[in-house]
Amino acid sequence: MGSSQLQGVPVQSLIGDPLILGYNTNGFAHHRLKDAIRILAGLGYRALALTPDVHHLDVTQSGWETEAKEIAKILDDFGMIRVVETGARFVLDAYWKHRPNLLEADSKDRLVRRDFLIRCMDLANQIGSPLVSFWSGTPKPEFGPEEVLWDRLADGCRLLSEEAAQRSLLIGFEPEPGMLIETTRAGLDLVAKVAHPVFKLTLDIGHLQCMGEPLPETLRLGLPNTINIHFEDMRFGIHDHLPPGEGEMDLVGAMTQIRDSGFPGPVCVELSRHSHDAVATGRKTFDWFRFNGFA
């Protein structure tokens, strides 16, 4: 399916029913991937946000395709929707977090990131995911002025959008605190600049609190162009992903707004700093969804 065929295809037809609850594997960093899937399915989650990493289906290493087939089979057995996230910290550089990125001054470095994202697209096809999610990366003074970085990022995103379209995939671009694109409005500006039918947003609702974006207003603004949502609690000005109830957010109001909007994609918990207590954290979070009527 090419980009012209994807034009106008409802996102719901590619992803599934409204309010599918999932969990990101970066919150199960100390578990084998197969065990994490079984645990999460047993807790009640219906989606998996798979973050390929050095310990979970590392697409930079040979032989990942064989493991991907096994993972796809397990996900099929449990009836789980799956999406591919790409935020692994040190998968491309053992010394530098999230490097290289799409903003690098050296085109060879940018190519390393693009090649990784394309491998993640191939993984998405292999396991039956409709989308791949990524972000811009953090700007450095040596990368150049901001206007150059915007053009560099948009050009890279257009190339990646073509790669995604060739694979019948959607892209969910995530605004991330501290990166070049860190707010929903900036994300929407990038969507307009890239101007490709497969290029949409991933919204992390905790990031809205961190960046001081008014929650109801920003969700109204962003949801029409959003295909993927990350869920956690957070505090203003502090980029720390917290279980529900440990931050400052009206998460019940946010989830109600997301549900009532008819949002068709997965809402996946992202608690990457809680892997030391993954099972209990996953259970408590699902209990929160159930108690508040979302599961």
Q: Residue 116 corresponds to which tokens in the numbers above?
A: 């990784």
- 40, 112, 274 from 37: Cα distances, Å: 5, 29, 16
CATH number for the domain spanning 33: value is 3.20.20.150
- 74, 99, 100, 158, 289 from 95: Cα distances, Å: 33, 9, 11, 29, 37
Question: pLDDT band at residue 18, thresholds of 50, 70 and 90?
Answer: low
Residue 116 one-letter amino acid: F
Q: Residue 110 corresponds to which tokens in the numbers above?
A: 């940018």
Whether the Cβ atoms of residue 50 and residue 84 lie closer than 8 Å to each other:
yes
Tell me: cis bond preceding 100? Omega within 30 of 0 counts: yes
Give the domain range for residue 66: 3-291
Q: Residue 72 corresponds to which tokens in the numbers above?
A: 């796809």
Closest CA to 266 of 242, 295, 290: 295
Percent of the chain whose pLDDT exceeds 90: 93
Percent of the chain whose pLDDT exceeds 70: 94
What span, in angstroms and rounded, lies between the C-alpha atoms of 70 and 75?
9
* Total count of domains within the chain: 1
Instruction: Say yes or no to pLDDT of 8 above 70.
Output: no
pLDDT at 127: 98
More confident residue, 16 or 280: 280
pLDDT at 12: 44
Q: What angle do CA 117, 173, 44 make, to 5 degrees?
A: 90
Instruction: Say yes or no to pLDDT of 132 above 90.
Output: yes
Q: Residue 275 corresponds to which tokens in the numbers above?
A: 């892997």
Q: What is the pLDDT of residues 274-285, one digit of tens each?
A: 999 999 999 999
Q: What is the pLDDT of residues 205-215, one digit of tens each?
A: 999 999 999 99
Q: What is the pLDDT of residues 64-104, one digit of tens each?
A: 999 999 999 999 999 999 999 999 999 999 999 999 999 99
pLDDT at 5: 39
